Chains A and B, each alone.
Chain A
Amino acid sequence: MISPKQNKPETGGAPFTTVQEKDEELLAAESEAEARQTSMITDIWHRLKKHRLAMAGLIIISVLILTAVFASVIAPYSYRDQNLDNALLPPSRDHLFGTDQFGRDLFSRIIYGSRISIAVAFLPVIVSVGIGVLLGAISGYYGGWIDLLIMRLADIMFAFPSLLFAIAIIFAIGRGILSLFIALALVDWAGDARLIRGQVLSIRSKEYIEAARAIGMSDRRIILRHILPNCLAPIIVTVSMSIPGVILTEAALSFIGLGVQPPTPSWGAILNDGQRFIGNAPWMAFFPGAAIFLTVLAYNFLGDGLRDAMDPFLKN
C-alpha cells in the first residue's frame, strides 16, 4: 500500500490499554497501521474532491438526508390526510407535484418518502455487507471445509435473482418494514463474501500475518486488526456499489405491493398508484420515479468517484 507518512498518530495508546507490555513492538506496528489508515482517508478525500460527478452525487445525497430528517418541517401538508375534493389535481402553486387519488399532496408524500430511501440505503446495506465480510473473512482465513461450506452456500444464493429471493423471503415472513429490511439484507451478501474471501486469501500469505501468528496472536485478533483493515478499501467500494441496487430493489418491491405498506409513503408504492392513473394523472407516475432515479444516480456518481479515488488502494 502506498501512503505518504505525513499524518502521525495522535493518540497511540487509548484503544490498547489492555495489551501487555511484551507486545510493545507489535503495538507500535498497529498504531502505525492506524496512522496509515487516517492518511489513506485524507488521501482518498483529496482525490474525491476533484471528481466533479462524485461531488454532485454527494451534494444530492446530503440534501436528501436533510430532507429526510426535516421532512415534517419541509412538507407543506400531511402525508396521510385524505381530502377527496382535491383528488387527482395537476401540479399547481398549491400542490407543486399535484395530488393523488385520495387528494393527498404528492410533494409532501415524496418528501416523507425520502425517509424510507435513506433508511434502506444504510441499514440493510450495512447488515448485508457485514454478513458478507464476516463470512468472506472466515472462509478465506480458515479455508478447508468451512470455506467449502460457505462458498457452496454462496453458490446457492447466486442461483436466485435478488428480487425473486426478496419476494420469497417477504412472502415467507409477511409484509412490513421489518420484513422488507430483512429481505434486502439477506439477498446480496454472497457477492461481497466472495470478494472479501479473495482479498483475505491474498493477504493471508503476507509476511506480517505470519509474524503475527509467530508471536502467538489469536486468529480473532489477526482477522480484526490486520486482515480486515487491509480490506477496507474494497469494503468501502462494495458498500457504495451495493446502495443503488438495494434502493432499486426496495422501489421494485414497494412497486409490486410487497414493500412498505400504506399509508406510509414510499416512492415505489406511490409509483404503484401512479401506474393505475397513468392516463389521467401522469404526474403521479412522473415525480416519485424521478425521485428514485435522482437518488440512485447520485449514489452511482459517488460510488464511481470513490472507486476511482481508491484505485491505488484496491490493488493488493
Chain B
Amino acid sequence: MRNYIIRRLLLLILVLWGVTLVTFILMHVVPGDPAKVLLGKLSGNEVLVTKLRHQLGLDKPLVVQYFEFVKGVLRGDLGNSYKFKASVMSLILERMPATIKLTFGALIIGLLIGLSSGIISAVRRYSVWDTFSMLFAFIGVSMPVFWLAMLLQLFFAVKLGWFHVSGFEGLRDLVLPSVTLGLIYSASIARMTRSSILEVIRMDYVRTARAKGAPERIVIFRHVFRNALIPVVTLIGMQFGGLLTGAALTETVFQIPGVGKLLINSTLDLDYPMIQGGVIFVAIIFVLINLFVDILYAYLDPTIRYD
C-alpha cells in the first residue's frame, strides 16, 4: 500500500509536468501573435508591437519562456490576465467559492438521488421502480446539462418566479444550478450502483449470509452495499472532470461568477494567460482528486493488491 502511494505520487509529478508542457505547446502554436491581438487596431504599429512583445517576454526563445513559465507555476504564479490586468491565480481563487459551493451541492444531490435510485433498482430488479429509475438514468446521461439548466430556469424562475432567473446574490441562487448538475450527475451514479449491486448480490458470500439465516436487511446493508459501493467510489472520481465542466456550463447559463464561466469568457476574449493558467489549474485539481479517490479505493478494498 505504501509503495503504491509512493508510485502514484511519482506518477503525479510526471503527469503535472506533462500537463504544463502540453498546455504550453498548445498555447504557443497559436497562429496569431498575442501582442498584435492585444493591440487590436494599433497592431500595424511595429514599434508598439515590438515593445509589447518585449514586455510580455514573447521575444525570448521558447525554451526560456517555458522554463520561466514552469518556475512560475511552481511558485503558484500562473501569469497575469491580459483582460483583467491582475494575476490569474488571484482571479481564479476569487471565483473558487461559488464553484465549490455549486459542485458540492450537485455532489450531494447527485449522490442522494443516484445511490437511492440505483439501490432500489437493483434490489427490486425488473419491477416498475427498476424500469422507471433506469429510464431516468438514460434520460439523465443523454441530456445536455445546459439545456436542462435552461428548462429549469424557464419553469421555476421565468414562469413560477420562485428563483432569480440568473445572477448570484445568495445561496438561494445556487438551488437551481445545483439541482441541474446534481440530476445529470445522479444518472451515471444510479447506473453504476445498480450494476455493481447486481454483481455482488450473486456472490457466494451473500448466499452464505442468507443461508446462515441473516435477515435480508442485514444481508443487503452489511454484505452487499459495502462491497458494491467500491466501484461507485471510483466512478465518483472519474466523473469529477464531467462535474467540473458541467459546472462551467451551468455557471454560464445561470450567470454565476465561478471559475468555469471565467474560463469560458476568457476564450471569447482571447485572454491567453488566463486560458493557459486556468487549464493548468483545473487539470491539477482534477489529478489531485483522482489520486485521492484511488487511494481511498485501495483503502476500501483490501483484496486489491497494488504491485
Instruction: Show the binding face of A for B, using Cβ within 8 Å.
Output: 53, 152-153, 155-156, 158-165, 167-174, 244, 248, 251-252, 255-258, 268, 271, 274-275, 278-279, 282, 285-286, 289-290, 292-293, 296-297, 300-301, 304
Contacts and interface: CB of A to CB of B under 8 A. Distances in A.
A302 to B, nearest CB: 12
Q: Which of A160, A279, A300: most chain B CB closer than 10 A?
A: A160
Contacts of A268: 144
Given A251-B144, A300-B142, A285 B268 contact: no
A155 B142 contact: no
Interface string B178-196: 0000000000000000000
B18 A155 contact: yes
Contacts of A165: 279
B15 A159 contact: yes
Contacts of B252: 256
B4 interface: no
Which interface residue of B146, B275, B283 has the most chain A CB atoms within 10 A?
Answer: B146
B147 A293 contact: yes
Given A255-B146, A255-B249, A278-B150, A172 B27 contact: yes
Chain B: interface size category: 35 or more
A185 B41 CA distance: 35
B23 A285 contact: no
B15 A155 contact: yes
B102 to A, nearest CB: 15
Interface in B250-278: 252-253, 263-264, 267-268, 275
5 contacts: A161-B286, A164-B244, A168-B23, A255-B249, A289-B144
Given A168-B26, A244-B142, A301-B138, A285 B283 contact: no
A293 B140 CA distance: 10
Contact of A252 (B14, B249, B287): B249
B127 interface: no
B279 A164 contact: yes
Contacts of A171: 26-27, 30, 267, 275
A163 B26 CA distance: 15
Contacts of B15: 152, 155-156, 158-159
